[in-house]
């Protein structure tokens, strides 16, 4: 809770905590503001001021079980330079209490920039506030978002995305980098650097820093950030993977430079790697879902079920029918029977 400030702060932030919010991005964001707002770590809200809100003004439970007591319920949006919505668990039922969506629409109409941390991007989309805007989501929740909002094309190859008065962040430690970015803009580079140094951070990562990889690379660590971003793009374009030249342009390289990166770090080509990802995802769907093989083929970018079957057999030594039957025998609950 912020104590009264004697002077008008240059950066005023309202935090709206949703049910089961993730504690780390919220705490990291607040600590950057706290350390940037005063000399040393005295924590007085002088240069920056923050207010913690919940929809009903009552304590809210974080995903880790910790309960946080807010300063207030939903305060007038115009009193803030930014409203930061903090999300978290999304599979435990609705996370936003009544009034949250209308409050966010009111804030947007008032011209207050909105920030979505972690899965709060779902809430911003649900409120209709991300139309024709780019949004960022954690790699872990990429497919959750695509399934919930098929009309949205999120990015999961960077830490956060700024699109006008909408800022979305993957969450985790990326929230610290986003907070430092805002402090830099409003309070200066020295304040941002000082806060990060006290937090034992060498410096803020830029928005387009690739998120950590979650896909298999044969156990080989991917060092080059451009290659990590290329892999992220390929992972999220399984149905229609970009050609090598288009992929190279998206990450600021020539096709030859991109092919050299793949060869040097992964000992493969962009097209071969993309095909491997498609087959890996297809194998998972065959053995862990009841989707038809035609649907799986389409989702993984193959012309038809026969085309998919040939490539899957070449990679895994068995047809989709055989692989699914084996998976059912090993774990009957994993793949319910379905008409293929």
Tokens of 330: 């090993």
Q: Are residues 264 and 151 in the same domain?
A: no
Q: Do residues 173 and 28 touch, judged by C-beta distance below 8 A?
A: yes
Q: Are residues 52 and 186 in the same domain?
A: yes
Angle 167-155-93 (CA atoms, 0-180°, nearest 5)?
75
Q: Do residues 180 and 31 touch, judged by C-beta distance below 8 A?
A: no
> What does the pLDDT look like over 133-188, one tens digit per residue?
999 999 888 878 988 898 888 888 789 999 999 999 999 999 999 999 999 999 99
Q: Are residues 68 and 117 in the same domain?
A: yes
Q: Are residues 33 and 173 in the same domain?
A: yes
Residue 208 domain-assigned (yes or no)? no
Tokens of 329: 């025998």
Q: What is the model's pTM?
A: 0.69
> Which of 168, 198, 228 is where one domain is finished?
198
Tokens of 240: 């229609």
Range of the domain at 146: 11-198
CATH of the domain at 286: 1.10.10.60
> What does the pLDDT look like over 20-34, one tens digit per residue?
999 999 999 999 999
Q: Are residues 132 and 165 in the same domain?
A: yes
Number of domains in the chain: 2
Sign of the alpha-carbon dihedral angle for 97, 98, 101, 102: negative
Q: Are residues 220 and 325 in the same domain?
A: yes
Q: Are residues 22 and 165 in the same domain?
A: yes
């Amino acid at each position: 809770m912020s104590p009264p400030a004697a002077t008008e702060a240059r950066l005023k932030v309202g935090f709206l905590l949703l049910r089961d919010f993730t504690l780390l991005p919220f705490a990291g964001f607040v600590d950057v503001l706290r350390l940037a707002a005063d000399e040393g770590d005295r924590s007085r809200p002088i240069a920056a001021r923050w207010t913690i809100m919940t929809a009903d003004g009552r304590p809210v439970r974080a995903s880790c079980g910790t309960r946080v007591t807010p300063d207030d319920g939903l305060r007038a949006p115009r009193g803030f330079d930014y409203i930061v919505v903090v999300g978290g668990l999304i599979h435990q039922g609705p996370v936003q209490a009544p009034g949250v969506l209308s409050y966010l629409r009111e804030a947007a109409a008032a011209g207050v920039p909105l920030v979505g941390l972690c899965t709060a991007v779902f809430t911003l989309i649900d409120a209709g506030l991300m139309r024709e805007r780019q949004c960022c989501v954690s790699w872990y929740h990429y497919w959750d978002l695509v399934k919930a909002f098929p009309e949205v094309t999120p990015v999961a190859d960077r830490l956060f995305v700024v699109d006008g008065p909408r800022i979305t962040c993957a969450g985790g430690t990326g929230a610290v980098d986003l907070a430092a970015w805002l402090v830099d803009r409003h309070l200066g580079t020295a304040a941002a650097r000082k806060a990060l140094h006290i937090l034992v951070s060498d410096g803020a990562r830029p928005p387009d820093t690739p998120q950590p990889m979650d896909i298999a690379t044969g156990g080989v660590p991917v060092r080059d950030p451009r290659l990590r971003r290329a892999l992220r793009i390929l992972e999220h374009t399984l149905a229609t993977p970009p050609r090598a030249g288009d992929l190279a342009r998206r990450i600021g390289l020539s096709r030859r430079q991109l092919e050299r990166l793949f060869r040097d770090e992964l000992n493969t080509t962009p097209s071969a790697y993309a095909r491997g990802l498609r087959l890996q995802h297809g194998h998972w769907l065959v053995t862990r879902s009841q989707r038809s093989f035609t649907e799986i083929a389409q989702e993984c970018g193959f012309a038809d079920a026969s085309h998919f079957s040939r490539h899957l057999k070449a990679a895994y030594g068995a047809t989709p029918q055989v692989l699914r039957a084996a998976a059912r025998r090993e774990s009957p609950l994993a793949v319910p029977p379905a008409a293929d």
